[in-house]
Structure formats: structure tokens, C-alpha cells
Amino acid sequence: MPVNHQILLDNRPTGEAVASNFKLVTSETPALKDGEVLVRHHYLSLDPYMRGRMNESKSYTAPQPLGQVMLGGTVGEVIESRSSKFQPGDKVVGMGGWQQYSVVNAEQLGALRKVDTTHVPLSHYLGAVGMPGVTAWYGLVKIIEPKEGQTMVVSAATGAVGSAFAALAKARGCRTVGIAGGPEKCKYAVDELGFDACIDYKQYQDAASLSSALKEACPNGIDGYFENVGGMVLDAVLPRMNDFGRIALCGMIAGYDGRPMPMSYPALILTNRLKIQGFIVSEHMEVWPDALKELGTLVATGKLRPRETVAQGIEAAPEAFLGLLKGKNFGKQLVKLI
């Protein structure tokens, strides 16, 4: 069995996460038992939700245990199997964590899923045709419930969730506006992702000026908003929401370092009779087959062209993760392990 390199959570952050919160270790991969498979990971997913799990405070999921491999999505190849469900050479997606190899109980429902790489690259199963894509699908289809001709807005527009949101919203005939950081990201949003407009929030010092830019980009107001950021961005969006608008709240990355995020105009929720619903996509597994089918088709037909930022090697994972939290990535953040 191969030697395995792993990243553990060594200690919990105080305020901002730092590289010394993590620890690189080497371990022996255990021999397989009946029903188990050995997966060699090709790519590791880095996602903002991981920052919340590093804290010990109460959240929607259990904290990441200290001294254990960081949890995370992986795609790779089965290289040894003692299960009739998988054969060596099968390409699979699972939650193998921040390590080069994982031993998986193939009998556990949902622990490992075969994927077809004929038309969809393997890495996309961690992004556009994976958890981030399904997150965009659920927020748009089940919470926002768009109608043709309505205006949809998404923050973190060029990330893995935002890029999928654009393709899904445009497929439903909606005007789609993004909010992203930097002129290069905004150009990519319009030229390649199909956004009708994209606003560079870094050009604005406060919520009022950002809100004015949104008014210009959304002349008919905003009917649906997909929230990944919170803070100033949410304050800028709320005054532009139409009556009975819907907000799908997926992330609040502006507050992931533990600082409070006060809302400037909460009365607008009442005034505009808004629906705001937070959600965790792993609690809605029933929609995944339909969502993945549509997302896979969008990628295969070139209607969704996601970009990836790829760090090289398991040892690069902590710094790449910290960069993700600061918006340094362009599109889906991955770590290539082979």
C-alpha cells in the first residue's frame, strides 16, 4: 500500500486563518478490507465552507476535528478494489479529504460515485458539475424560482457557484448581473460566462455607491439575488430588490474570520416583502440527479465554460485555501495531486 501525505487541522484559528493552523504529515495507507476501495486522488477541492468548520463554534455541521485530515471533496481513480461495485480504473468523486489517497467503504451509500469523463473533464466534477454547481441550481430553481425576463444578481460571480448560476439563469431567459472583484474577473464574466453585466465591487468604497452602480446595471430592479458574500455587498443589494424579491443565502464569506456583520437596512426586508432563505445543499440530495444532468449538459455543450485555479501538490493546499478566502482565485480553486 502506498505512503500517503495528508494535511491535518493542527490548531483552531483565532480570527483570520493562517498557514500554521495546518500540519503536513506522512502515514501508511491501511490494507483494504472486504467492501473497501483505494482511491488515488487527482484533484482536491477547496471551498469557503471549510473555514467555518475550522472553528469550534456551533454551526450547521460539526467542527473539523483537530489532528485529523481536513475534510474536502476529491476526484480520482480507483487503483485497488475489494468491492464488486468498483473496478480499478473507475473515475470517482467523493469526500476523500486533504490527502493523496483514501480508503473508502464502497458499501456506504453516497460515499463514492462513478463519473463519466467522456465530455466533462474530471476536475469539473468538483466545481460546475459538482457541489458548487448543484448549490447554484438549488438556490436559483428552488428558492429564487426565476421567471423569464426577470433580473438575477449573484455575488462572487466568477467563482464556481457564480459561474454556474449565470449559465442556469441565462438558460431560463433572465437578465443576469454579477458582482466580482477586479476588471479581469468582470470581463471574463461578460465575455465568457454570459453575464449581461458585471460590477467590480472594488471600485466602490461603500454600500451606497455600489448600490448606485447596481441601479444602473439593473434598471428594472432585482427579482432574485444569490448571496455568497454578505456585508457591504448585501447592504448594496437590498435597496435595489423589487417587491416580493427572493434571496438565496448560501455563504457569508465577509464574516468568516469571526467579525460581526451588521446589516444596515433590515427594514427593507419588510418594506419590500422579501423572502430570504439560507440553505445547505447537502441537505437536499434529492435534487442532485436533476441538477447534475442539466449542469453536465451545459458544460458538454459549451454553454458553461468554468475557469479553474489550480495549485500544485498537497503541500500547497493551505496557502491556496487562504488565498481563496481573500478572493485570489479565479474560478474554482483546486489542488492537483498527481
Residue 266 is part of a domain; what is its CATH number? 3.40.50.720
Q: What is the mean pLDDT of residues 29-34?
A: 95
Q: Which of 40, 50, 23 lies closest to 80, judged by CA?
A: 40
Task: Calculate the average pLDDT of the chain.
Answer: 94
Say what the pTM is: 0.89
d(CA 86, CA 64): 29
Amino acid making up residue 27:
S
Q: Residue 10's domain is classified under what CATH number?
A: 3.90.180.10
**Residues in contact with 324: Cβ distance below 8 Å, sequence separation at least 6, in sequence order:** 46, 47, 48, 333
How would DSSP label each residue in 179-230? Answer: EESSHHHHHHHHHTS--SEEEEGGG-SSHHHHHHHHHHH-TT-EEEEEESS-
- Look at 14-28, 103-117, 214-228, 243-257 and tell me which has the smallest mean pLDDT: 243-257
Q: What angle do CA 280, 160, 121 make, to 5 degrees?
A: 115
pLDDT of 248 reads: 98
pLDDT of 29 reads: 95
Judged against a pLDDT cut of 90, whether residue 319 lies above it is answered with: yes
Residue 287 lies in a domain: no
Q: Are 313 and 337 in contact (CB under 8 A)?
A: yes
Q: Extract the C-alpha cell encoding 47.
A: 471551498
Q: What is the mean pLDDT of residues 172-198?
A: 96
Distances (CA, A) of 258 to 55, 73, 191, 320: 9, 24, 36, 20
> Total domain count for the chain?
2
Same-domain check for residues 136 and 123:
no
Residue 301 lies in a domain: no
Of 109 and 144, more confident: 144
d(CA 184, CA 195): 14
Q: Which of 120, 137, 133 lies closest to 159, judged by CA?
A: 133
3 state SS of 152 = strand
Judged against a pLDDT cut of 90, whether residue 281 lies above it is answered with: yes
Question: In terms of residue numbers, what domain contains 88?
Answer: 3-127+306-336
235-261: pLDDT as tens digits: 999 999 999 999 999 888 776 666 778
- Look at 179-183, 254-258, 323-327 and tell me which has the smallest mean pLDDT: 254-258
Same-domain check for residues 273 and 161:
yes
Same-domain check for residues 179 and 248:
yes
pLDDT of 204 reads: 96
Q: What angle do CA 69, 70, 71 make, to 5 degrees?
A: 110
Judged against a pLDDT cut of 70, whether residue 4 lies above it is answered with: yes
- Look at 50-64, 161-175, 186-200, 231-245 and tell me which has the smallest mean pLDDT: 50-64
Residue 294 lies in a domain: no
Same-domain check for residues 138 and 121:
no
Same-domain check for residues 277 and 135:
yes
Judged against a pLDDT cut of 90, whether residue 136 lies above it is answered with: yes
Same-domain check for residues 121 and 147:
no
Distances (CA, A) of 120 to 290, 291, 300: 16, 15, 6
Same-domain check for residues 274 and 170:
yes
d(CA 131, CA 125): 8
3 state SS of 251 = coil
pLDDT of 258 reads: 66
Same-domain check for residues 96 and 191:
no
Same-domain check for residues 90 and 156:
no
Residue 290 lies in a domain: no
200 - beta bridge partners?
Answer: 180
Q: What is the mean pLDDT of residues 227-240?
A: 94
Q: What is the mean pLDDT of residues 42-71?
A: 89
Residue 178 lies in a domain: yes
Residue 326 lies in a domain: yes
